[in-house]
Structure 1
Amino acid sequence: MRKIDLMIYLLSLLLIIILILTRFIPIPFGLFTVASGSMEPSIRPLDLAIVFGRDYKIGDVVVWCSSPFYCVLHRVVNISENYIITKGDANPMTDPPVSKDLVRGRVVLVIPREIWILLTSLLIGILIFYYRRRVSEMAIIFAPFVAPMIIYSLVVGIVITLFAQQSSIQIVYPEIYLSRHDIYDVNGSCVVNISYYVVGIKILSIDKIYVFNRSIDSFNYTGDSISFVLPKDLALYSASTGSRLNISVEADLSRKGFLKGFYQIPVSLQKPLIKIINESLYIENPNCYPLEFNITWMFSVAGEPWRFESSTYVLDKGSFVFNSPQARFVYVEIRYRWLGAEFYERLYVRG
């Protein structure tokens, strides 16, 4: 056998070994034929991808394999400590998080299908022409390798077609999204509670909580909820104006996650009860939100001009009694803001 024959023989054998090893052994180089259009238009079906090295970054195209019969060639969109997330350029959604151990390498070169198929066909034609007088000898030499390669290709094709879906990697997506938010009355204070639905992840710490751009320093949290007492002045502002509570939250999650949420919680209030009982003013605020009242007494003794006394009170939840002035004729005016509207009541007390 001449040297050129030996070189062709060894190169063919090496190519076959590489094609087999890249499927079964996680070596950082290999050849992969693209099987789908998930990376179109940049990479098309039947294009030949050359993979080399495991140094990659966001934006690079890599190949990862969950089994010898299920490999994915997609672009890296996120990298964490132990996982990467990839996405096909033509796919609407990302792939599940994949362990870095499954990555075979970075795609360094893509040979279009028109080029490598044409070159391969030309090479085969040249070899056939070159060895046209020794076809029988070449068949005998390559038969032990060509036959297993054909069998291997058939087996791989059948297995991929029938079992690739079952061989795909099963990784649970970590999920967190808002479940509900409420405001509870706890001993006359408004407590804000934000609950989340979580899967495979939990809240580790709270970085920031803001209400109307004011930082909240005291709060409680568990793996799936956050709660804090609403400051009285912010509660008063919300109750008076009817403004929704604008709340922003930043938190660290397990698995290197980060939560940033913005929530608008509507205000739900009962109207205060105002009446005269035993010639005294009675006001009941049934809400955990404080309310501001302006109370003006109008009173007069017979034959004297009317006198006025006005005061402003911020009343928390509860019942409050205000005694009337000692005079023959007494009226009282009450003004307060409730859910963005101003209310006015004038009540007869005595006379």
Structure 2
Amino acid sequence: MRLKAICTPLLGGIVLFGNCSVAQAPCQSTDLSCDDGTRALYFQPVPLMVVGGNNGTLWISRNGGASFYPIVPASATASYISVLITPDNRILASGNDGAGNSYIVRSNTFDRDWQVVYLNGGGDVMNLRVNPAGGFAAVRSNASTQAELLYSEDGLQWNNTAVSVVGSVASLHDLNGTLYVGMQSVADFFVRVDSGPAFTPSINLPGGDTGTGAIHGAGLSVVIGLSSNDVYYRPEGGSTWNTSPLGPSLSGCEDAAYGNGLFLVACPGNDELGVSFDGISYSRALPTGVDLTSVASSVQEMKFREGTFFISGFTTGAPDTARMARSLDGASWEMILLESNARAFSMDFKTSFQFLVPD
């Protein structure tokens, strides 16, 4: 019996390419009882990617970044500062609507059938996350520039509550199953999110700092202080944050990623990447391949997914150019997205599955 893919209903009942009849597989692709041989026979992996941009645009890839196509899901003036592929293969995209409002849209079938699910006066909705406590979370600064946590059980109905520390928001991070809010230029600049939600200051610097990039890897949580140019780090299970300087060769470092035994920090302050094997001591990376400074000078997000580092950003000029690059080792980079008259902000990735049915 020869098998071919004639339809692609993804896990959770989402269909990528239209309605069709699905063969009765003996197990779901994510079941522990579904052995590798059965999974390979009945399911084909689909590497999905989404990149958020300006001008109301998202770029979609169904082949792991080999090619992209643009869509405009809602407002043509929106900027999508954050994107998330949900566990059931919908897309959440957030930022602003281009008219001074915080903005979130949600798809019902991967990249189709969109609706606006959050519209409120205020700043960009940033750092969409799967909430370890259930549902989804993000952050924004409201119309009074006070940091708020946004949270939702289903991605449709959103609630917001002010962070207990006065100030504007910088970021939201999941460090080993706990959410933290990064604040801008305040003493209590890294705040733990507790049940409720409630908030507990976690890192304090009397002169103030800004919590931007943060990552957990190799049993270590690492936070990048934008203002201080320091790395704050804490071993898994520890209660005390230690401090180490990034050093004079790196400045303006805003995001971090961990993978393949490497910690990488993106430093638009000097168009560089910092690399570390222990998460504490960093040196300049020496990238090859593409001119990475064209991305590193405007890094919007850095992630590690599916064994690969990714950086999204843009260059300004006449015209602006959206860019996205990837690397296996943090040294040799390949440009996979290059779009004129556009800016790239955020990105997300997920390997889903399509059913194979008898021919």
Structure number with the bigger relative contact order (C-alpha 8 A, sep ≥ 6) is 2
Tell me the TM-score range normalised by the shorter chain: under 0.3
Q: TM (normalized to structure 1)?
A: 0.20
Greater helix proportion: 1
Greater strand proportion: 2
